[in-house]
């Protein structure tokens, strides 16, 4: 890691890991210093935190089958009993307990395989433990099952507020807690385009049982590799009484009143012919798709609709008429009729986390622009808008009103009922309001304004 001083140009070098780092991303959480999360080729995580202008590096081993067990990691109550009982001492205590359990089982001539597999055995190097029980033991914390897996092509997406990451490699996605390294959830995914993997969730709120942070749903979206089909995996709790995913359950094994990621239900949604999309801050997806052949409108002049669906084919048809040069006026009129508009080929759409899809027509405007075969870059603009490039034309698509900075009254359309109540995290809302009060607009956010009025202050 090279840290460059922007004032004098000097740089310092910090060694993060001896293994090659294949992916790195910044993780920002409220009231916590910004962290840099790195993934090594063997699957281990390296977290770097800046404290007093110096990097503090911490290696984290991903722990499988340790979700809310209270066995592989000491509880806060156990750590507070003595000041000398740190994590290293606890590991030594586990090894000592494992050695005693091995001697106990080996000295018992009547011990069965079930008794041996149920013994508190650490690791998988013992000859007493059957092979079938290795994957089910909650004490296998070294993540040795995936050491041989190559994470060279993995993709890491951060979950900023809750301090977690989603790591996707192959056909598996893993939700990992950065503080403890525990894998909270692992689910199947399809082959996706690397730049389209995103995570979105509603605004965190207070849990009605313990008061900690909770979210109503958690969604992962990506575009399939071979097709332009958008796939969304949404995880939510179907229990009516406890419908929020509490984030305390993942870090406190003693919490039994709330439900966490172990109790979620997966729902999958998809939409076809998607060209570009982005996740907004309203727990919704906003993008542009190519219309189906039967939905294309406009004059065809005898040509099939799938032929006119491609702008390049339309250009060939126009050039064929121009090469005849029999009548320039008739050719120009025919080209004007056949020339496809943006609204006849593309349409905007929104998808909520629950899978509800809405379609919207895109305004054409006065300038039709260049003939294009596919869309240009699609990027997020503001907290509920996207900027789409149609050749040499840039269009901004937004939800609700055209206020890009502050959230208005109509901005809670895509949020769930639990997120619209007053249970939202108060210190987050208060900090955001203070920032918005200090921010002064230097431009107009109303795109219908064509003139700017000047006022003179005496």
Q: Rounded mean pLDDT of 296-325?
A: 49
Most confident among 110-124, 194-208, 287-301 (mean pLDDT): 194-208
Mean pLDDT of 428-438: 56
* pLDDT-wise least confident of 12-26, 149-163, 273-287, 408-422: 408-422
- What is the widest separation between alpha-carbon atoms in the chain? 103
Residue 209 has pLDDT above 60, yes or no: yes
Model confidence band, residue 80 (pLDDT cutoffs 50, 70, 90): very low
Per mean pLDDT, which of 328-337, 372-381, 408-417, 447-456 is the most reliable? 372-381
Mean per-residue pLDDT, 167-180: 88
User: At residue 448, does pLDDT exceed 70?
Assistant: no
Region 394-399 average pLDDT: 86
Q: Is the pTM of this model over 0.75?
A: no
pLDDT value at position 412? 46
Q: How close are the terminal C-alpha atoms of the chain, in Å?
A: 54
Calpha distance 94→254 (Å, rounded):
20
The mean pLDDT of the chain is 70
58-62, 131-135, 412-416: least confidently modelled range = 131-135
Does residue 130 have a pLDDT over 80? no
Every domain of the chain and the residues it spans: 76-137, 190-295+348-447
The single residue listed with the structure tokens 């007493």 is 128
Rounded to an integer, the average pLDDT of 312-340 is 52
Distance CA(46)–CA(55), nearest Å, equals 12
Per DSSP, 182 falls in state B
Handedness of CA 301, 303, 304, 310 (dihedral sign): negative
d(CA 299, CA 41): 55
pLDDT score, position 105: 43
pLDDT at 296: 54
In this prediction, residue 435 carries a pLDDT of 60
- What are 379's strand-pairing partners? 387
Strands 230-236 and 265-271: antiparallel
Contact criterion met (CB below 8 Å) for 185 and 233: no
What is the 8-class DSSP label of residue 6?
T
Helices (H), 301-425: 305-308, 311-324, 328-338, 342-345, 417-420
pLDDT at 371: 72
Rounded to whole angstroms, the Cα distance separating 16 from 88 reads: 21
Count Cβ neighbours within 10 Å for each residue of 389-406 and write b for 16 or more, e otherwise.
bbbebebebbbbebbbee
Q: Is the confidence at residue 286, as pLDDT, over 90? A: yes
Q: Which two tokens stand for residue 381?
A: 């603009």
Average pLDDT of the residues in 340-369: 85
Which pLDDT does position 303 carry in this prediction? 43
Q: Is the pLDDT of residue 331 over 80?
A: no
User: What percent of the chain is helix, strand and coil (3-state, nearest 5)?
Assistant: 20, 30, 50
Using pLDDT thresholds of 50, 70 and 90, give the confidence band for residue 268. Answer: very high
Mean pLDDT of 102-116: 44
Highest mean pLDDT among 28-37, 173-182, 281-290: 281-290
Contact predicate 397/347, CB 8 Å = no
Sign of the torsion formed by the C-alpha atoms of 401, 402, 406 and 412: positive
Distance (Å, rounded) from C-alpha 72 to C-alpha 83? 19
DSSP classification of residue 132:
G
| 301 within 8 A of 317, measured Cβ to Cβ | no
For residue 3, pLDDT beyond 60: yes
Specify burial of residue 108 (Cβ count, 10 A radius: 0-12, 13-18, 19+). Answer: exposed
Indicate the angle between helix axes 311-324 and 328-338, nearest 10 degrees. Answer: 170
**CA 5 and chain centroid, separation:** 31
Residue 325 — very low, low, confident or very high, per pLDDT cuts 50/70/90? low
Q: How far apart are CA 6 and CA 244, in angstroms?
A: 44
Instruction: Find the mean pLDDT for residues 417-435.
Output: 51
pLDDT band per the 50, 70, 90 thresholds, residue 137: very low
- Cα separation, 215 vs 416, in Å, equals 10
- Is pLDDT above 90 for 247? no
Angle at 124 between CA 118 and CA 128, to 5 degrees: 55
């Amino acid at each position: 890691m090279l840290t460059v001083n922007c004032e004098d140009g000097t740089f310092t070098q910090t060694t993060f890991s001896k293994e090659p780092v294949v992916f790195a991303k910044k993780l920002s959480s409220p009231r916590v210093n910004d962290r840099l999360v790195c993934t090594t080729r063997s699957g281990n995580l390296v977290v770097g935190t800046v404290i007093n202008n110096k990097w503090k590096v911490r290696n984290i081993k991903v722990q499988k089958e340790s979700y809310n067990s209270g066995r592989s990691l000491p509880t806060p109550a156990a750590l507070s009993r003595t000041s000398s009982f740190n994590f290293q001492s606890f590991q030594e205590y586990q090894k000592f307990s494992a050695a005693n359990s091995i001697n106990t089982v080996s000295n018992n001539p009547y011990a069965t395989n079930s008794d041996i597999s149920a013994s508190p055995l650490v690791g998988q190097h013992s000859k007493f433990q059957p092979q079938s029980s290795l994957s089910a033991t909650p004490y296998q914390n070294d993540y040795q099952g995936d050491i041989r897996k190559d994470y060279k092509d993995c993709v890491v997406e951060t979950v900023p507020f809750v301090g977690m990451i989603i790591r996707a490699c192959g056909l598996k996605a893993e939700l990992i807690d950065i503080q403890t390294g525990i894998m909270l959830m692992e689910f199947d995914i399809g082959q996706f385009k690397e730049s389209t993997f995103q995570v979105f969730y509603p605004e965190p709120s207070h849990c009605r049982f313990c008061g900690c942070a909770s979210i109503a749903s958690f969604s992962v979206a990506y575009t399939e590799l071979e097709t332009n089909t958008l796939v969304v995996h949404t995880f939510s709790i179907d229990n009516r009484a406890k419908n929020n995913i509490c984030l305390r359950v993942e870090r406190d094994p003693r919490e039994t009143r709330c439900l966490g990621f172990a109790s979620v239900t997966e729902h999958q949604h998809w939409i076809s012919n998607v060209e570009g999309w982005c996740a907004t801050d309203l727990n919704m997806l906003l993008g542009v798709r190519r219309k189906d052949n039967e939905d294309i409108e406009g004059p065809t002049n005898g040509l099939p609709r799938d032929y006119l669906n491609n702008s390049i084919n339309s250009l060939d048809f126009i050039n064929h008429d121009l090469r005849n040069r029999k009548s320039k006026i008739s050719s120009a009129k025919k080209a004007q009729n056949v020339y496809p508009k943006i609204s006849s080929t593309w349409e905007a759409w929104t998808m909520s986390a629950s899978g509800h899809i809405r379609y919207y027509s895109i305004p054409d405007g006065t300038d039709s622009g260049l003939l294009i075969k596919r869309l240009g870059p699609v990027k997020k603009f503001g907290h509920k808008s996207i900027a789409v490039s149609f050749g040499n034309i840039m269009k901004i698509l937004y939800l609700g009103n055209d206020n890009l900075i502050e959230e208005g009254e109509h901005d809670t359309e895509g949020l769930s009922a639990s997120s619209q109540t007053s249970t939202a995290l108060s210190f987050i809302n208060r900090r955001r309001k203070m920032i918005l009060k200090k921010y002064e607009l230097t431009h107009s956010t109303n795109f219908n304004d064509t003139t700017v009025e000047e006022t003179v202050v005496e």
